[in-house]
Amino acid sequence: MSDLQDQIMRALSTVIEPELHRDIVSLNMVRDLHIEGQTAFFTLVLTTPACPLKDVFQRLCHEAIVGKVPNITAIQIKWDAQVPTDRRIHGRLDVPMRSIIAVASGKGGVGKSTVSTNLAVALAEAGARVGLIDGDILNPNIPQMTGLSVGHPAVEDGKMIPLEAYGVKIMSTGFLTTPDKPLILRGPMLHGAIRQLFTDVEWGDLDYMIVDLPPGTGDAPLSLAQSFPLTGVIVVTQPQEVAVADALRSIAMFETLNVPILGVVENMTGDFFGQGGGEKLAQDRGVPFLGRIPLDAEVRKGGDSGRPIVVVEPDNPAGLAFQTLAQNTAARISVVMLQSSDVIPLNIIG
């Protein structure tokens, strides 16, 4: 490395990643530094393609270098991303996914499937490789919400090929049954069915696997949380008190199981159900508040028609809220993963 490159790296080592609280050089985020004329070119490898902080990094790097390192008058950053790998997944499942994120709620109807779908699509739109498992085995809604209600997965070499919508790979028991012939499963069989959605499907490499859980603290969410190494869980609640009380039970269950709580989402905020219950719950439990999604008929229409609101109306307040939620969630996943010793951090992936 030339003397000038050395000086630039030293300057960049004063830039602190705002979420991870470590400098970007020791996090090994800076790659491929070279200088042309008076411009420093380098790649910044983020921990998620859905990073909301690109503008901040651009400014911090500029401030650290230009005017501080002699002869450099401009910087040019190329963006890349590598989601860290939750190593526990590979110890226990033979599946190529870097993280598994469960979406849970205390009660049904609060918008778990809606949040799972829009979150998955928003992450995919940001450039991540995303899978979505419909973990509500007995009441699968994901096929309808993603417009795949008539789909049927192909089988190759004994594994099912997931269907794909809006850049997300999707698997649901809804693809394997018809509405008038529901699956009737209990205990161990239910458990087996959920497991098969992970292991008997050709997922390919994924950054984020989103799992839409059935509501409550019953058998199915419990068995899922116990049999899969969950990177973290998002708890969805409506703002009103009865929903919040149920969400609290859900949080307590995952805490007991040592599943990191990524945060709380308040869905259907507005005049009808009120506002603020989810944020207060997060504060009371000392967990992050990931965002609120307004109650909006367009969200419901998007679910019914299989065209998620983040796709059809990204600039509508609810569409924007889901994009912000995806960014907050992705940032939070990075923090949780880099705090854990079970995670292969960026600087080892290198």
- In the complex, the residues that contact ligand ADP under the rule CB under 6 A are 105, 108-114, 141, 267-268, 293, 295-296, 299-300, 303, 318
Exposure letters 1-10 (e unless 16+ CB within 10 A, then b): eeeeeebbee
Site for Mg ion in 250-289 (CB under 5 A): none
Q: Compare residues 148 and 337 and give the one whose CB is closer to Mg ion.
A: 148
User: For residues 154 and 339, is the Cβ–Cβ distance under 8 A?
Assistant: no
202 interface partner picked from Mg ion, ligand ADP, none, CB below 5 to 8 A per type = none
Q: Measured between alpha carbons, how far is 267 from 294 in angstroms, rounded to an integer?
A: 6
Task: Give the CB-nearest residue to Mg ion.
Answer: 113
48 interface partner picked from Mg ion, ligand ADP, none, CB below 5 to 8 A per type = none
246 interface partner picked from Mg ion, ligand ADP, none, CB below 5 to 8 A per type = none
User: For residues 171 and 160, is the Cβ–Cβ distance under 8 A?
Assistant: yes
Strands across the sheet containing 163-165: 163-165, 168-172, 130-134, 208-212, 100-105, 232-237, 261-269, 289-294
Site for Mg ion in 98-117 (CB under 5 A): 112-113
Q: Compare residues 33 and 222 and give the one whose CB is closer to Mg ion.
A: 222
267 interface partner picked from Mg ion, ligand ADP, none, CB below 5 to 8 A per type = ligand ADP
Closest approach of Cβ 112 to Mg ion, in Å?
A: 5
From 85, 141, 250, 329, residue interacting with Mg ion (rule: CB under 5 A): 141
Q: Compare residues 131 and 140 and give the one whose CB is closer to ligand ADP.
A: 140
Q: Measured between alpha carbons, how far is 313 from 315 in angstroms, rounded to an integer?
A: 5
* C-alpha closest to that of 265 among 251, 122, 302: 251
Q: Measured between alpha carbons, how far is 32 from 45 in angstroms, rounded to an integer?
A: 10
Closest approach of Cβ 215 to Mg ion, in Å?
A: 7
Q: At 260, which amino acid appears?
A: P
